[in-house]
Amino acid sequence: MIYVTDGSFEGILTAVFEAYVNKEEPESIVSKEFFQMQLGSEVREIKTDSERSHRVNNAIKNKVSQDALEIIYRAWLSEHNDVGVAIYKYIKLGLQIGSRVVSFLQNPDILMVNDLSQKVFQEYHLFLGILRFKKLKNGIYYSKIEPDNNIIMLLTVHFAERMADQPWIIHDARRNISALYNTEEVVYTMQKEIRISEDICEDSVFETLWKNYFQSIAIESRKNLRLQRSFMPRRYWKNLPEKQL
């Protein structure tokens, strides 16, 4: 049995509800984006139901723990192909043994969810340090990112507090998702491509100063490119002004 969802977190939680109601053990829970028909498999399309997903959400918080819910959510942000069914098994075991599930790492599904959650959390913290904004001439701050995981929602929570009095856009160019903040609320939008030309950037002078500063503080004899890449992986460099030297 393959459950096919719309790919949302609510969709996965709805699928978990359906599995319990139908007393089924889905072999896979995948989004339409990753779904590939397999011979001999029965397919059930799961329509996201906010009421049912909310019930599962509350069951996790009340019968397992808030920590477990956050771990599951971050694992979902990894967009791993098999994360859906691993989350289902995590929740199923969690409802049996309670909060102990977060440390039940001898179970491969629990370990998988935990590892994916950790990778998402680590990349989120990395981007808190390397995300760069450009100030546009209309006063909006713009940042382009291309993270491995779908962390834009985690980042917007942080920057909505950190830059609460400034309008900004965080653009995930890898997923064509943009978070727009107008100093009051965050709105998410899907757009295939956003191009920011140099003539609408106000702070090109400050970018130059930042690059010069980056060069001036570097001690040539103490350069350690291997260590630098461990803190700032090369795949992120194209969106960092100090690396465009």
Question: Do 10 and 52 reside in the same domain of the chain?
Answer: yes
Q: Give the end of a domain, one of 81, 101, 123.
A: 123
Residues in Cβ contact with 159 at an 8 Å cutoff, skipping those fewer than 6 apart = 131, 168, 170, 181
CA distance 245 to 242: 6
Question: Do 86 and 161 reside in the same domain of the chain?
Answer: no
User: Per the structure, how many domains does the chain have?
Assistant: 3
Q: Global pTM?
A: 0.80
Question: Do 59 and 169 reside in the same domain of the chain?
Answer: no
pLDDT in tens, the chain (245 residues): 899 999 999 999 999 999 999 999 999 999 887 776 665 678 899 999 999 999 999 999 999 999 999 999 999 999 998 999 999 999 999 999 999 999 999 999 999 999 999 999 999 999 998 898 888 888 888 899 999 999 999 999 999 999 999 999 999 999 989 999 999 999 898 876 666 555 555 555 444 444 444 455 454 555 454 544 555 566 665 665 555 54
Residues in Cβ contact with 185 at an 8 Å cutoff, skipping those fewer than 6 apart = none
- Tally of CB atoms within 10 A around 170: 25
- Which residue range forms the structural domain that includes residue 190? 131-202
Question: Do 14 and 111 reside in the same domain of the chain?
Answer: yes
